[in-house]
């Protein structure tokens, strides 16, 4: 070999070795995607930055999947690689839950953690089949573990849309799971008692979820009558107050305590019923009446009003009714316009990418002009009717009427109320409801304007209410009669996270990722065409190259 050639090879080897040595010390990834999908948010980085011990993640997304789930699998892998690149303590493994050695023990753990499998529809060559996948991850850190859902369920969405929404939610799902493992609980949440709020078993599921993030404690305002200042001081040790469907009116002392708690920066979540259903003892009929909680002036001063009325929304959840008797009973679904399925067109992080939230007998909320910033989080569909009270709720009249509307279309002269707010966020400096009023008790630190604070008012207390199976609380948002899941739990959890400024993770939810998918119909129609192209095109190019090579070779050596 020529001496100069040997020198070139040696130089190339030295350069190759130097590049690898430098690369072992200097690491850099470039995200060239338009939506920056592989770039972690600052909040996600802050969450994992403090992990000093290994975080081990088992991802149960291995097996034979349809193309959409292969995309979810690859996106999950790439996201975890990004987390691992930022903090090498994050280690992960993809596992097929159906092929592990201890499959039965794993299935039991899935059941204990409510990690249910998802039924997915697979379309291939015009054939439709159903498969079960377990789109979950289990993360372990020191002596703690947490289940991380990878697939978001949304009513009325195709598999592609579910996967797209799930991929958009991946970074938040993992960051939220890591936050539960790494970050110790700091904030304190008071759950109001004493004004006949929902019983514990009806809020058990949401509170059990909330306790993974915060310290929870019941708090009663009963002592407001005898020791109001002490009650106020005790309430101010909490960061957030939750009022879950109170049915007993608040006294002025209780309202003043809550008002001054808010004036001192306390956050609050109100789930208020402005109506109640009663059975008339004479006629036996059910009527809806207005509910007086003595909170109208309270909210009015803050900038909103929960109206004593009912909303009928054509876009609503069904009701299940039994027909027949005893063993001949049949359960049928009927449209029930008193259960609006609400969503939001805005991109606020609380409501971004969540399932529709189910309300029952909700009232409208009016936002009033003042300096407080107001954001409508959830509202009805545009096809609504607002009903004044009292109103008779008669199934024998409502069901045929609703069926006729569904079959023939709503009367535009009747369903003309438009979108009505049902959940509103207030932010900023809120004026005291007791400004220029006689105070119910003496408070030396009376404040007329709050420090910057937040509160959310929802015009239906049942949004936080879980159903029961016997005495066992079911997951909030699950309707055992229709077997449908709604977004109540996620909405309320996001709301609490946002109210408490919980490490900014909630802002990750606004991240938008564009996921292109193949058109299954076009794919099936053009399958043979593209198979032939993929098979014949390389052979044709190879043949052209061979003929050209022979042609030029003969031409060169025959001269």
Structure tokens at 451: 């420090």
For residues 371 and 176, what is the distance between their CA atoms, to the nearest angstrom? Answer: 33
Whether residue 229 is predicted with pLDDT greater than 60 in this model: the reply is yes
Question: What is the sign, positive or negative, of the torsion defined by CA atoms of 378, 382, 384, 386?
Answer: positive
Which residues are paired to 457 by β-bridges?
A: 270, 424
For residues 236 and 215, what is the distance between their CA atoms, to the nearest angstrom? Answer: 14
Window from 262-266, 371-375, 408-412, 447-451 with minimum mean pLDDT: 408-412
Q: What is the pLDDT of residue 91?
A: 92
Q: What is the pLDDT of residue 267?
A: 96
Residues 266 and 278 sit within 8 Å (Cβ to Cβ) = no
Structure tokens at 528: 């043979």
- Closest-CA residue to 363 (of 405, 402, 313): 313
Which residues are paired to 129 by β-bridges?
A: 122
Q: What is the pLDDT of residue 328?
A: 67
For residues 313 and 415, what is the distance between their CA atoms, to the nearest angstrom? Answer: 8
Structure tokens at 507: 């802002």
Q: What is the mean pLDDT of residues 339-365?
A: 87
Model confidence pLDDT, tens digit, residues 184-212 = 888 999 999 989 999 999 999 999 989 88
Q: What is the pLDDT of residue 295?
A: 93
548 SS3 class: helix
Q: What is the pLDDT of residue 510?
A: 64
Residues 414 and 385 sit within 8 Å (Cβ to Cβ) = yes
Q: What is the pLDDT of residue 37?
A: 66
Q: What is the mean pLDDT of residues 403-425?
A: 90
What's the pLDDT band for 305 if we cut at 50, 70, 90?
very high
Q: What is the mean pLDDT of residues 10-38?
A: 74
For residues 287 and 387, what is the distance between their CA atoms, to the nearest angstrom? Answer: 12
**132-162: burial string, b at 16+ Cβ within 10 Å, e else:** ebbbbbbbbbeeebbbbbbbbbbeeeebbeb
Whether residue 514 is predicted with pLDDT greater than 70 in this model: the reply is no
For residues 17 and 22, what is the distance between their CA atoms, to the nearest angstrom? Answer: 9
For residues 290 and 310, what is the distance between their CA atoms, to the nearest angstrom? Answer: 10
Q: What is the mean pLDDT of residues 479-493?
A: 88
User: Greater confidence, 548 or 28?
Assistant: 548
Q: What is the pLDDT of residue 6?
A: 78
Whether residue 552 is predicted with pLDDT greater than 90 in this model: the reply is no
Q: What is the pLDDT of residue 316?
A: 92
- The total of other beta-carbon atoms located within 10 Å of residue 200's CB is 13
Model confidence pLDDT, tens digit, residues 86-109 = 888 999 999 888 777 777 788 888
User: DSSP class of residue 541?
Assistant: H
Model confidence pLDDT, tens digit, residues 154-166 = 555 666 777 777 8
CA atoms lying within 13 Å on the CB side of residue 411: 8
Q: What is the pLDDT of residue 32?
A: 67
For residues 95 and 60, what is the distance between their CA atoms, to the nearest angstrom? Answer: 5
**530-559: burial string, b at 16+ Cβ within 10 Å, e else:** eeeeeeeeeeeeeeeeeeeeeeeeeeeeee
For residues 68 and 72, what is the distance between their CA atoms, to the nearest angstrom? Answer: 7
Could you give the percent of the chain with pLDDT greater than 70? Answer: 89
- The total of other beta-carbon atoms located within 10 Å of residue 394's CB is 12
Q: What is the pLDDT of residue 115?
A: 82
- Closest-CA residue to 323 (of 373, 273, 396): 396
Q: What are phi and psi of 371, to 5 degrees?
A: -80, -5
Whether residue 402 is predicted with pLDDT greater than 80 in this model: the reply is yes
Q: What is the pLDDT of residue 27?
A: 60
Kindly report the pTM of this predicted structure: 0.79
Q: What is the pLDDT of residue 443?
A: 87
- The total of other beta-carbon atoms located within 10 Å of residue 357's CB is 26
**437-473: burial string, b at 16+ Cβ within 10 Å, e else:** eeebeebeeebeebeebbbbbbbbbbbbbbbeeeeeb
Q: What is the mean pLDDT of residues 249-261?
A: 95
- Closest-CA residue to 170 (of 229, 82, 46): 82
For residues 461 and 455, what is the distance between their CA atoms, to the nearest angstrom? Answer: 15
Whether residue 329 is predicted with pLDDT greater than 80 in this model: the reply is no
Q: What is the pLDDT of residue 34?
A: 64
Cα Rg, the chain, nearest whole Å: 30
Whether residue 501 is predicted with pLDDT greater than 80 in this model: the reply is no
Angle at CA of residue 518, ends 513 and 523, nearest 5°: 175
Structure tokens at 513: 């990722």
Q: What is the mean pLDDT of residues 336-360?
A: 86
Q: At what angle do helices 67-86 and 42-49 cross, to 10 degrees?
A: 60
Q: What is the pLDDT of residue 246?
A: 95
Model confidence pLDDT, tens digit, residues 353-369 = 788 899 999 999 999 99
What's the pLDDT band for 379 if we cut at 50, 70, 90?
very high
Model confidence pLDDT, tens digit, residues 47-65 = 888 888 899 999 988 877 7
Contacts of 348 (CB under 8 A, 6+ apart): 375, 377, 425
For residues 259 and 237, what is the distance between their CA atoms, to the nearest angstrom? Answer: 15
Q: What is the mean pLDDT of residues 483-505?
A: 85
What's the pLDDT band for 28 if we cut at 50, 70, 90?
low
For residues 290 and 269, what is the distance between their CA atoms, to the nearest angstrom? Answer: 21
| Cα distance from N-terminal residue to C-terminal residue, the chain | 31
Pairing outcome for strands 188-193 and 453-458: unpaired
Whether residue 228 is predicted with pLDDT greater than 80 in this model: the reply is yes
What's the pLDDT band for 308 if we cut at 50, 70, 90?
very high
User: Greater confidence, 179 or 263?
Assistant: 263
- Closest-CA residue to 357 (of 245, 479, 504, 512): 479
For residues 24 and 22, what is the distance between their CA atoms, to the nearest angstrom? Answer: 5
Q: What is the pLDDT of residue 186?
A: 84
Which residues are paired to 144 by β-bridges?
A: 141
Q: What is the mean pLDDT of residues 502-521?
A: 62
């Amino acid at each position: 070999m020529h001496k100069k050639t040997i020198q070139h090879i040696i130089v190339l080897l030295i350069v190759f070795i130097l590049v690898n040595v430098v690369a072992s010390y200097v690491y850099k990834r470039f995200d060239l995607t338009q939506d920056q999908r592989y770039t972690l948010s600052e909040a996600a980085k802050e969450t994992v930055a403090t992990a000093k011990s290994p975080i081990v993640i088992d991802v149960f997304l291995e097996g034979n999947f349809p193309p959409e789930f292969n995309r979810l699998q690859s996106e999950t892998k790439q996201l975890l690689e990004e987390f691992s690149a930022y903090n090498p303590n994050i280690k992960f493994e993809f596992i097929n839950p159906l092929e592990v050695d201890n499959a039965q023990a794993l299935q039991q753990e899935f059941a204990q953690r409510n990690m249910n499998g998802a039924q997915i529809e697979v379309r291939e060559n015009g054939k439709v089949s159903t498969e079960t996948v377990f789109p979950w991850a289990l993360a372990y850190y020191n002596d703690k573990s947490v289940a991380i859902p990878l697939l978001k369920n949304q009513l009325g969405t195709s598999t592609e849309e579910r996967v797209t929404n799930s991929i958009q939610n991946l970074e938040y799902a993992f960051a939220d799971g890591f936050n539960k493992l790494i970050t110790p609980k700091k904030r304190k949440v008071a759950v109001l008692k004493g004004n006949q709020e929902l019983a514990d078993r009806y809020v058990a599921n949401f509170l059990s979820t909330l306790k993974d993030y915060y310290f929870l404690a019941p708090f009663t305002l009963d002592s407001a009558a005898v020791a109001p200042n002490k009650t106020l001081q005790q309430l101010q040790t909490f960061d957030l107050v939750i009022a879950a469907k109170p049915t007993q009116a608040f006294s002025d002392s209780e309202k003043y305590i809550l008002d001054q708690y808010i004036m001192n920066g306390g956050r609050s979540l109100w789930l208020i019923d402005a109506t109640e259903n009663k059975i008339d003892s004479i006629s036996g009929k059910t009527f809806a009446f207005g509910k007086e909680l003595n909170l109208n002036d309270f909210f009015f001063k803050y900038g909103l009003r929960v109206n004593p009325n009912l909303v009928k929304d054509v876009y609503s959840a069904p009701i299940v009714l039994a027909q027949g008797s005893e063993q001949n009973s049949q359960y049928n679904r009927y449209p029930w316009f008193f259960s609006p399925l609400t969503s939001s067109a805005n991109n606020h992080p609380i409501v971004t990418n969540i399932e529709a939230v189910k309300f029952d007998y909700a009232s409208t909320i009016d936002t009033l002009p003042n300096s407080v910033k107001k954001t409508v989080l959830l509202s009805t569909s545009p096809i609504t009717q607002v009903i004044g009270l009292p109103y008779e709720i008669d199934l024998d009249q409502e069901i045929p009427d609703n069926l006729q509307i569904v079959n023939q279309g709503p009367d535009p002269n009747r369903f003309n109320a438009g979108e009505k707010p049902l959940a509103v966020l207030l932010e900023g400096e809120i004026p005291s409801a007791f400004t220029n009023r006689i105070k119910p008790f003496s408070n030396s630190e009376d404040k007329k304007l709050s420090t910057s604070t937040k509160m959310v008012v929802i015009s239906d207390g049942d949004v936080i209410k879980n159903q029961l199976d016997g005495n066992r609380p079911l997951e909030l948002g699950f309707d055992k009669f229709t077997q449908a899941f709604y977004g109540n739990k996620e909405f309320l959890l996001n709301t609490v996270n946002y109210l408490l400024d919980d490490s900014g993770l909630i802002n990750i939810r606004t991240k938008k990722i564009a996921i292109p998918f193949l058109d299954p119909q076009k794919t099936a129609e053009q399958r043979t065409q593209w198979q032939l192209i993929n098979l014949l095109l390389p052979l044709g190019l190879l043949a052209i190259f061979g003929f050209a090579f022979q042609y030029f070779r003969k031409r060169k050596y025959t001269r």
